[in-house]
Amino acid sequence: MTAPPSAPHVVRLGAVASTQAVAFALAAEGALDRTVVVAEHQTAGRGRRGRAWADVPGASLLASIVVRPRLAQALLPAVSLTTAVAVAEALGAVTGLAPRLKWPNDVLVGGRKIAGILVESRLDPAPLLVVGVGVNLAQTSFPPSLEARATSVRRETGRGVERDALLGAVLAAFDAWRARLEREGFGPVRARWLALADTVGRRVTVDGLEGAAVGLDADGALLVDDGAAVRRVTAGELTEIGGEHAARR
């Protein structure tokens, strides 16, 4: 019988430039696998594709996890989708909401983004990942550019959520799904991601390609049917433009 993992080491900070940067710095100093950096506020938070991640002090869960992976290099991209599944499950368990997933790793409620995930890597001298999680908890409004696309736990439920309770649930779910990924490969994660997917079954555009999102390939690539063929999309900025109609694969 395998012993349960020990509790992660959590580093709690006030305002920082970026929890990702702090986590990488700690890792360079020898921080152990599953070291977690949590901050009240980021002054230079970052998201996917070089975007800034803006937050109101104290209104979000902002965490970065040091991961020293025990995976083949080909499976490292699956950590992003694995984290999305874990965050969606934890958020649903703690809040009663029904989160859905937008490829590759946004977490939505009611079609609006409630959480985002950023996985950054360093491969030399040994593989290292830092998994960043940002969840909107207490915001009641957003900048005009985000108002139609973002939401928070408070906006969806009318009440707050205990940040440490959600953090604990996220870390437990991440540990469990990471263990399955390491033990069983991507198959179980892929199946669960598809069960939670908002993207699959919708018409989408992604980096100039338009078509119906019909599934995930065995490595996590999005499968898009553009009418001529089913194309693999491994990265890009995705926009959902239509209702559900495509078959899942």
Under the phi-then-psi rule, with left for phi > 0, alpha for psi from -120 to 50, and beta for the rest, what region is 50? left
**For the segment 206-242, what is each residue's pLDDT rounded down to a tens digit?**
988 999 999 999 999 999 999 999 999 998 888 888 6
Question: Which phi and psi (to 5°) does residue 187 adopt?
Answer: -50, -55
**For the segment 8-44, what is each residue's pLDDT rounded down to a tens digit?**
899 999 999 999 999 999 999 999 999 999 999 998 7
Query: How far does CA 189 lie from the centroid of its chain?
Result: 13
> For residue 29, what pLDDT is reported?
96
Which residue in 132, 115, 40, 42 sits closest to 79, CA to CA? 132
C-alpha to C-alpha distance for 58 and 34, rounded to whole angstroms:
23
Environment class of 237 (CB within 10 Å of its CB; exposed 0-12, middle 13-18, buried 19+): exposed
Q: What is the CATH number of domain 10-196?
A: 3.30.930.10
Give me the residue spans of the domains in the chain.
10-196, 202-244
- Tell me the two tokens of residue 31: 């921080």
**For the segment 65-113, what is each residue's pLDDT rounded down to a tens digit?**
999 999 998 899 999 999 999 999 999 999 999 999 999 989 999 999 9
Give the length of the chain: 249
DSSP state of 138: S
pLDDT tier, 1 (very low <50, low <70, confident <90, very high otherwise): very low
> For residue 45, what pLDDT is reported?
67
Q: What is the pTM assigned to this prediction?
A: 0.91
pLDDT tier, 167 (very low <50, low <70, confident <90, very high otherwise): very high
Is the distance from CB of 77 to CB of 220 less than 8 angstroms? yes
Q: What is the CATH number of domain 202-244?
A: 2.30.30.100
Largest separation between any pair of C-alpha atoms in the chain: 53
